[in-house]
Amino acid sequence: MNIFVAGSLWVAGAALAGGGIAYLVRRFGRDGEGRPANNDAAGQVFTIVGGLHAVLVAFVLISLFDSVSAASQDARTEADSLVAATWAADALPAETKDRVHQLAVAYARTVEDQEWPRLADGGPIPATGWRQLDQMRQAVAAAPTDGDWQIDRKTEASNQLWAVYQARQQRLADSGGDGVGAVVWFALILGSLITAILLPNLFGGTRLIAHIIIVSTLAGTITLLLFAIHELQNPFSGGAKVPAEAFTSALERLA
Per-residue pLDDT tens over the stretch 168-209: 999 888 776 567 888 999 999 999 999 998 888 887 766 888
pLDDT at 38 over 80: no
Q: Which amino acid is at 114?
A: Q
- pLDDT class of 218 with cuts at 50, 70, 90: very high
Give the chain as a 3 state SS string: CCHHHHHHHHHHHHHHHHHHHHHHHHHHCCCCCCCHHHHHHHHHHHHHHHHHHHHHHHHHHHHHHHHHHHHHHHHHHHHHHHHHHHHHHCCCCHHHHHHHHHHHHHHHHHHHHHHHHHHHHCCCCCCHHHHHHHHHHHHHHCCCCCCHHHHHHHHHHHHHHHHHHHHHHHHHHHHHCCCCCHHHHHHHHHHHHHHHHHHHHHCCCCCHHHHHHHHHHHHHHHHHHHHHHHHCCCCCCCCCCCCCHHHHHHHHHHC
Give residue 62's domain range. 3-254
Terminal-to-terminal C-alpha distance of the chain:
36
Assess contact for 16 and 216: CB atoms under 8 A: yes
Question: What total number of domains does the chain contain?
Answer: 1
For 125-153, what is each residue's pLDDT tens digit?
889 999 999 999 999 999 998 888 999 99
pTM: 0.80
